[in-house]
Structure 1
Amino acid sequence: MRGGDKFFRSGKADGVAQSGPVWRLLSCVTKIAGATCLLKGGKQMQLGAFSVSLAVKDIAASRAFYEKLGFEVFHGDAAQGWLIMKSPTAVIGLFQGMFENNILTFNPGWDSNAQPVGDFTDIRDIQKKLKSAGVPLEQEVDEAGSGPGSFTLMDPDGNAILFDQHV
């Protein structure tokens, strides 16, 4: 049995019950295949393109390693300490000296090619929904604003989740 299977069968992960704000968030995050989350009434909240942002010690070594796994540089500047790499089915960011730990990243309004999508859930609406579900936020976006913005939260294991809207 894989760890995730045990988590879903038992209904608990480190004491987190299947009913509460953290469980609702985890349910959304684990359904990454379309990066959507069901809201009350069956409406979908579109979380946007998903990637993992990796805190790396040596960007050149990390780039070479991920190229061996089939990833190609998609965007970024190694001289500035960041690269976005893609494989046919995944996107990762390599970040040297920008943050200490890895981050799960959602980009509302973007597809996996960093192109704007027509219909998406604005980051402020995502933030409002998570707050109303009782999910604590580490940093908030200005809900009176519009366009680009970001907010962060932590999952029950201390993993950072960044919502970063560029459009």
Structure 2
Amino acid sequence: MYEPASKISGTEAVFAHLMANEYEHPAVAAFKTLATDAKFDRAELTITVAAENIVAAAEAAKAAGYNFLEDVTCLDWYPSEPRFRVTYHILSHKLKSRLRLGVELGSDAASLDSITGVWPSANFYEREVFDLFGVHFNGHPNLVRIMMPEDWNGHPLRKDYPVEGYR
């Protein structure tokens, strides 16, 4: 029986560990070519992909049996670069397994392709990240503010947003 390691980081180390232990994680083969980084912690796989590969990674996850997009989150690491990390939290009910797909974005290139074509439920999650962090999702069917008023200036969860707002 497979015994998960407590924590492994680095693309090669993660995939080597999974293969050596004959861990039949359905995403292993699909993501080995897409991953720029990987982490395996507490039997949960986190894959980082380049922004241009997010749709392919989402399609690979869906093909591997991951059927439910739980959430899309964003971190702002200002003033560090890459500034943003957008993470897709995905679940497979059948496999009883969780997967995270992450994309790191710089301040100058805070945009990536929308995955609403893969999971329509990404619609509201991506709108929330856009509204609060200013990350643009190319090809999104309705990328408008969802929480803040339409005339709101700025994106309030960015770390460089003034505490008292813009005046």
* TM-score normalised per structure 1: 0.31
* TM-score normalised per structure 2: 0.31
